[in-house]
Amino acid sequence: MIEFLGLAVAALALCIASIISLKLKVPPLIVFLLIGMVVGTLGYLQDNASIAFIGGLGSVMLLFAIGTEFSIYKLFKTGFFREIQAALIELLLSFAILYMIFSIWFDPTTAMIIALAFSITSTGISLKLLQELGLTKKFDIHLIVKISVIEDLITVLVFAIISSISVSSGSPINAVIISFFVSIFLFIIAYYLFSAFLDRFLFRFDIKEEDILMLALGTLLLFVSIASALGLSASFGAYIAGSVVSVWKEKWAALENDMRKFSYIFISFFFLSVGLEVNLANVNVSMLFLILAIILVVKFAGLFVGTQVAFRSYRTSFFTSLGMLSRGELSLIIASAAVTSGIISQYFLTITALAVLLSVVISAILLRFSSDIYYVLRIKLPMHM
């Protein structure tokens, strides 16, 4: 009885948060996180097992939704060489620099996890900010999306490997090699066997759209189960399933809208549940702002170098880098999963959640004055920006 009452209160809080996000024109997921922090600080809903369970499902649904946004297989077919080059350079630079800095304060495993979490851009939040600020024409939205998609794939793969190391009893090097090849194997199986079977046989028949939604969810559960059985994270299986399902949207136009509505409930509870776990009492404010400054500067520098090497345009590099400063859902998924697995302590989930919120606020301010900042840099710096 009390569990259901807690769910009712949580649903009401999420509804209020959604209304607030519409009024303030901010990404709703950020407001869900903030509401969770407020409710948790007041001492409510923190020990509700039902909310935690739905939030866990939400983390899987979120990776699935990220995978459905753009087909990885289609990306490789179209050959976005420069976008891949930019993403690889900036992600490698950002991760390496953050890892070296965080290794000064934290143990190697913790430094690796939080460096990975803070190396990733939130595509959805970045695009939402650009839309609300009316900057979609000034920024290259397609470039931002392509680089973010490649970032997501690499990050999910790396996190799957790191997770396997934490549960492996053997040599870490062997765990990395095995996890890498198992991940690639699952990726190939997902496309060449599963997708080919559905495209050539099943989809020749007339299928109702509601049945396609059921098939999409079945695909999600199948690949999550396979990934878990192979010793990989459930997140990797969910992302691969999303990439497979993303191809189906071309044939069933309503599928994307149906999946968005279905997954929205679970994803909302995930952000709420993360907010509930935040413990503001133990936060070192000076350390928080130092970490925030480091991750924003390093991310901008990594993106600028990567896009400059790939596109040879200071203007493109500047606006792309500024447009991808927000952290978001993937950062929280990595931190939450690492805490649940016992890889890092609860304290770092709090730091990650607060850094995500503050990065969105700072990013919105910088984006609003992006033209002025670019104009000043053109005058002050000795380069043709």
pLDDT tens readout for residues 192-224:
666 666 666 666 767 776 677 788 888 888 888
Which of 34-48, 280-294, 331-345 tops mean pLDDT? 280-294
Per-residue pLDDT at 24: 77
Residue the block writes with tokens 């927000």: 326
Least confident of 17-21, 135-139, 323-327: 135-139
d(CA 260, CA 262) in angstroms, rounded, equals 6
Per-residue pLDDT at 75: 63
Torsion of the alpha carbons at 151, 153, 158 and 161, rounded to the nearest 10: 170
Per-residue pLDDT at 384: 54
Cα angle 99, 105, 107 (rounded to 5 degrees) comes to: 70
Per-residue pLDDT at 202: 65
Instruction: Pick the more confident residue, 76 or 308.
Output: 308
pLDDT for 306 beyond 70: yes
Query: DSSP letters along 307-373, please?
Result: HHHHH--HHHHHHHHHHT----HHHHHHHHHHHHTTSS-HHHHHHHHHHHHHHHHHHHHHHHTHHHH
CB 159 within 8 A of CB 116: yes
CB 339 within 8 A of CB 349: yes
Per-residue pLDDT at 343: 77
pLDDT 10s digits, 142-197: 778 778 777 777 777 777 666 665 555 555 556 666 676 777 777 777 776 666 66
Helix (H) or strand (E) holding 94, with range, is helix 81-105
Residue the block writes with tokens 């991310």: 299
φ and ψ of 230, to 5 deg = -85, 5
Per-residue pLDDT at 100: 92
pLDDT mean across residues, the chain? 78
Interior/surface letters 349-373, b for 16+ CB within 10 angstroms, e for the rest? bbbbbbbbbbbbeebbebbeebeee
Per-residue pLDDT at 297: 92
Query: DSSP letters along 279-292, please?
Result: -GGG--HHHHHHHH
Query: DSSP letters along 113-157, please?
Result: HHHHHTT---HHHHHHHHHHTT-TTTTTHHHHHHHHHHHHHHHHH
pLDDT for 318 beyond 80: yes
d(CA 385, CA 375) in angstroms, rounded, equals 9
CB 310 within 8 A of CB 136: no
Of all residues in the chain, the percent with pLDDT exceeding 70 is 82
Per-residue pLDDT at 2: 61
Instruction: Pick the more confident residue, 302 or 241.
Output: 302
Band the pLDDT of 97: cuts 50, 70, 90.
very high
pLDDT for 250 beyond 70: no
Token pair in block for residue 23: 């009024």
The CA distances from residue 183 to 112, 128, 160, 239, 319, in Å, are 20, 32, 8, 12, 34
Per-residue pLDDT at 163: 64
Mean pLDDT of 93-121: 88
Long-range contacts of residues 130-135, Cβ cutoff 8 Å, at least 24 apart: 130/323, 130/367, 132/25, 132/26, 133/364, 133/367, 133/368, 135/323, 135/367, 135/370
Which of 115-129, 155-169, 344-358 tops mean pLDDT? 344-358
d(CA 193, CA 201) in angstroms, rounded, equals 12
CATH topology of domain 2-380: Na+/H+ antiporter like fold (1.20.1530)
Instruction: Pick the more confident residue, 223 or 102.
Output: 102
Measuring CA to CA, which residue among 218, 216, 232, 115 is closest to residue 184? Answer: 232
Instruction: Pick the more confident residue, 89 or 74.
Output: 89
Per-residue pLDDT at 213: 78
Band the pLDDT of 375: cuts 50, 70, 90.
confident
